Structure 1
Amino acid sequence: MSRLDQKLELAFAPLATAVQTGRIPGGVLGIVDNAGNRVMRSLGAAQLVPQHREMTDNTWFDLASLTKVIFTTQRILALADAGRIDLDAPLISALPDFRQYNPDNWERRVTFRQCLGHQTPFPAVFPLYTYGRDPQLLRAFLLQHQWEAGPAVYSDINFMLLGLALERIERQGIRQMDPGPGFAWSADPAQSAATEDDSWRHRVLVGEVHDDNCSALEGAGHAGLFGTADAVLDFARDRLADTGPDAPIRTPLSARRTHGWERPYEGWSGGELCSPASIGHTGFTGTGLWIDFERGCAWTLLTNRVHPTRHFDSGIVALRRAVGDLINSD
């Protein structure tokens, strides 16, 4: 048995327990190293209601906030590398109409880098979808709403705005942009992990985005990406291969964050045994990706923990940490 196989055997145990005890319907765990070797295993159900389907290694997942790091962060940093934007310039360099009726407002001073690092005063959450289903009207609302300033917290609004900036710069909607190899903006329901029996859309969501704000906007920078565990591991392998120590995704912006990503802190999702040279991110639907550059290893845990409802203690926080610690236990 190879070293990666041994890691998978150890780390798969808490996922198996979570499925067997009914905490989550199912999941896929995959590990890749910097030589490109990978192992993967799936368990449980891709869907429970209104029909039952088995989880497979090739199941497509709504990656939720992994969109922020796999798509939006990569796009923004590529624009910066190409000299098309300045990360320390305010968003109004791409969105000149942002809060245009009050040129002295704090929102007009927010920069690309601050949004990438969640260092802005925007609120943590905002139910934009409750203001209607017209995507262009909601974009205008997002740009002109008077946001109440608060402490810097993790906020989807940062990446909604980065998504709007991308759309202006590229002159096309998010869903018209190439999401990258192996990824898509929707998926075949017959091959997808179901998410929630949604109270707003009145159906079980399968192959369409779970995030209500992203759905209403018909594409956004904070959510909406779909992919398989293989696609996520391909992305991670590429980062292991081509990301040096000075790369922005490894450069700290605060005690907990780099550009787009989280870095290790006490209680973080990757567990306690990751090296300091690690980054990671999670998604609300039950997804996650962690990359340890010192160990030359990355892993993804993809689950459908919100199926059929988010209003249940799935134990996903403890599960992620347990998996990470077992992968990094040697």
Structure 2
Amino acid sequence: MASIHFTRRASLLAALSAALLAGCTQMPAAQQAPVVPATASQHELDTARFAQLDAAIDAAIGEHKLPGAVLHLERNGVVYEKGYGLQSYEPGAAGVTPDTVFDAASLTKVIATAPSVLVLAEQGKIDLDARLVQYFPECASGGKQAITIRHLLTHTSGLPSGLPPTPAWHGSAAAHALACSLPVTNPPGTLFRYSDVNYVLLGQLVEKVSGTTLDQFAQQHIYTPLKMVDSGFQPLKRFQPGQIAPTHKSPEDPNQRAPHGDVASGQLLQGVVHDPTARRMDGVAGSAGLFTTARDLARYARMLLNGGQLDGVRILSPNSVRLMTTPQSPAGIEAVRGMGMDINSPYAVRPRGTVFPVGSFGHTGFTGCILWIDPNSHTFYVFLSNRVYPDDKSNVLPLYTQLGTLAAQAALGFDYATVQPIAMAR
């Protein structure tokens, strides 16, 4: 069954602030955040847009573009959150609610890997403009000597978009050897190419300089202090399969080639990472592997909008937030990225919609996930879905545009025409 939650956080009630910021987190009744009717007089969100958002998502579900989804829209403490549809198309499938855990795919890059790198930079353990070979001398061949950590974070390294699946390989060490063997196709700093290889290497950099794996580091330095209680890698260690939206079902016919060649005939991916590279790395990669909920991502978004802290707990310095969310791409490259977040690359057009200005930022995930934040209007939205179920063939990009546009239009009284253009080069 669909679940809906609409609140306004009462900033003057300090005793309730943690509960209110956590949105729909399940707590004893006495600790539940107060629920109040949504009215236009609250001067934050236009409630008329809610029905339009519902209709757009319900239409996509009706067309079998995706089995289910969760939407979280928020501005200055006013929240609209709802679950839609079912976890799958199978008879008796469970309904999606705000408690449903989703495979966040490439949101991993900006919710786990980039912030972990920036935390380590704050600690003086990583120099963001140092060369990759300073940390990994074994990566010195094939024109990679000039790649810097900044190049990896902004997808300007010149490395290919992904690791090849053949010959068959398994494990982080094999992934590292393969990444280090790849030559650049363009001189570092001269071209934008979105690349999982960049973030595989960054995840391994976190492990090398911290002495702990990426999943453990992110848990210790991001999710636990931020009270992102549902977030992490390898979710079957914490959740039952039924709490997690499935992403892929391999054909039963063993002679039929599955889109993911390493998935057994008839296998259901439910709590097992959808991304094949991350799956070959046992579910923990800098490029993919994170599972999360909409309410956890909402806490992360609030932290960024609040300059790196939430509920009195600092996760990132204001400078790290700036590096992650404002233009950091090398000069002369048209696609604009922060050290993590997308700002104005070709991948930003759909989730940004037609109203949010360039200077808003966010990221998407292949499984059907969006986090998009506008610091000007203090509006953000989270969309989690499993549009890849069962065969990766569904296209929801038009829905992304609708969601981004309606989310921006929901910001009551904000004139986007007054937003100053951002500087397009650092």
Q: Shared fold by TM > 0.5?
A: yes
Q: Mark the CA change 1:23 to 1:84 in structure 2 (over 3 Å): closer, same or farther.
A: same
Of 13-22 and 90-99, the range deviating more from structure 2: 90-99
Q: Contact between 2:84 and 2:96, CA under 8 Å: does it hold in 1? A: yes
User: Matched residue of 1:315: which SS?
Assistant: coil
Q: Distance in 2 between matches of 1:119 and 1:264?
A: 14
Displacement of 1:247 after TM fit?
A: 0.7
Which residue of 128, 132, 147 corresponds with 2:183? 147
The runs of 5 or more residues in structure 2 that have no matched partner are 1-37, 251-257, 309-317, 411-426
Q: Deviations over 1:197-233 (max 9, x none)?
A: 2432221100111111111112110100010110011
The runs of 5 or more residues in structure 1 that have no matched partner are none
Q: Contact between 1:30 and 1:299, CA under 8 Å: does it hold in 2? A: yes
Residue 280 of structure 2 corresponds to residue 280 of structure 1: no
Q: Distance in 1 between matches of 2:52 and 2:234?
A: 33
What TM-score, normalized to structure 1? 0.90
Instruction: Quote the residue 1:210 is aligned against.
Output: 274
User: Matched residue of 1:302: which SS?
Assistant: strand
**For residue 207 of structure 1, what is the amino acid of its counterpart?**
G
Q: Distance in 2 between matches of 1:306 and 1:154?
A: 20
Count of residues paired in the alignment:
322
Residue 32 of structure 2 corresponds to residue 32 of structure 1: no
Displacement of 1:84 after TM fit?
A: 1.6
Q: Deviations over 1:89-148 (max 9, x none)?
A: 01122222224xx4xx421221111111101111123334752224423332322x1325
Which residue of 99, 105, 120 corresponds with 2:157? 120
**For residue 86 of structure 1, what is the amino acid of its counterpart?**
D
Displacement of 1:21 after TM fit?
A: 1.7
Displacement of 1:38 after TM fit?
A: 1.9
Q: Contact between 2:53 and 2:406, CA under 8 Å: does it hold in 1? A: yes
Q: Mark the CA change 1:16 to 1:130 in structure 2 (over 3 Å): closer, same or farther.
A: farther
Instruction: Quote the residue 2:337 is aligned against.
Output: 257
Q: Contact between 1:249 and 1:258, CA under 8 Å: does it hold in 2? A: yes
**For residue 186 of structure 1, what is the amino acid of its counterpart?**
Q
Q: Distance in 1 between matches of 2:161 and 2:58?
A: 32
Residue 121 of structure 2 corresponds to residue 86 of structure 1: no
Of 223-232 and 10-19, the range deviating more from structure 2: 10-19
User: Matched residue of 2:138: which SS?
Assistant: coil
**For residue 165 of structure 1, what is the amino acid of its counterpart?**
L
User: Matched residue of 1:137: which SS?
Assistant: helix
Which residue of 396, 399, 409 corresponds with 1:329? 409
Displacement of 1:49 after TM fit?
A: 4.2
Q: Deviations over 1:26-46 (max 9, x none)?
A: 11110122x333220111111
Q: Contact between 2:337 and 2:345, CA under 8 Å: does it hold in 1? A: no
- Aligned pairs for 1:289-304 (under 5 A) are 289-304=371-386
Identity %: 30
User: Matched residue of 1:233: which SS?
Assistant: helix
Residue 400 of structure 2 corresponds to residue 320 of structure 1: yes
Which residue of 51, 61, 64 corresponds with 1:19? 61
Instruction: Quote the residue 2:294 is aligned against.
Output: 229
Q: Deviations over 1:48-90 (max 9, x none)?
A: 3486222111100000000000111111111222222111101
Residue 233 of structure 2 corresponds to residue 185 of structure 1: yes
Q: Contact between 1:286 and 1:304, CA under 8 Å: does it hold in 2? A: yes
Of 45-54 and 226-235, the range deviating more from structure 2: 45-54
Q: Distance in 1 between matches of 2:207 and 2:101?
A: 26
Instruction: Quote the residue 1:271 is aligned against.
Output: 353
Q: Distance in 2 between matches of 1:256 and 1:26?
A: 32
Q: Distance in 1 between matches of 2:92 and 2:167?
A: 29
Instruction: Quote the residue 2:16 is aligned against.
Output: none
Instruction: Quote the residue 1:59 is aligned against.
Output: 100
Instruction: Quote the residue 1:173 is aligned against.
Output: 213
**For residue 268 of structure 2, what is the amino acid of its counterpart?**
V
Of 88-97 and 250-259, the range deviating more from structure 2: 250-259
Q: Distance in 1 between matches of 2:152 and 2:279?
A: 21
Of 213-222 and 148-157, the range deviating more from structure 2: 148-157
- Aligned pairs for 1:98-113 (under 5 A) are 98-99=139-140, 102=141, 105-113=142-150
Q: Mark the CA change 1:204 to 1:127 in structure 2 (over 3 Å): closer, same or farther.
A: farther
Displacement of 1:16 after TM fit?
A: 1.0
What TM-score, normalized to structure 2? 0.71
Q: Mark the CA change 1:240 to 1:86 in structure 2 (over 3 Å): closer, same or farther.
A: same
Residue 248 of structure 2 corresponds to residue 196 of structure 1: yes
Q: Mark the CA change 1:6 to 1:240 in structure 2 (over 3 Å): closer, same or farther.
A: farther
Q: Contact between 1:46 and 1:193, CA under 8 Å: does it hold in 2? A: yes
